[in-house]
Amino acid sequence: MQIIENWTDVEGKVEEVEPSDVSDNFVKLRVAVNRTKPVEGFANLLDDAKGQTLAVEVPKKAAEHLQPGEKVSCRLRRAGNQKIFAHPEQVAKVKS
């Protein structure tokens, strides 16, 4: 399988925060996606995510301020093993 460098900006609502099966340094956020936006210069492999709930692997440090029910904005990439990862410096709570 060929790896494609890809990033998509996503906004949505955190539904759950749970332990990651990737690493102890990550948590898994379940995010109900309400908006996607392509990132210039990168493939957009999550364009069809609007209306879906994604399981996103996020470094614990980047997610420590997020709770279920909060709105979040993050830059995501799809990895080869059907995992989705957040960019550690592009995770933010969205003010209502």
Q: Which architecture, in CATH terms, is 8-84?
A: Beta Barrel (2.40)
Helix (H) / strand (E) containing 62: helix 60-63
The per-residue pLDDT for range 61-81, each reduced to its tens digit, is 999 999 999 999 999 999 977
The per-residue pLDDT for range 11-62, each reduced to its tens digit, is 999 999 999 999 999 999 999 999 999 999 999 999 999 999 999 999 999 9
Domain boundaries defined on the chain:
8-84
Q: What are phi and psi of 48, to 5 degrees?
A: -90, 10
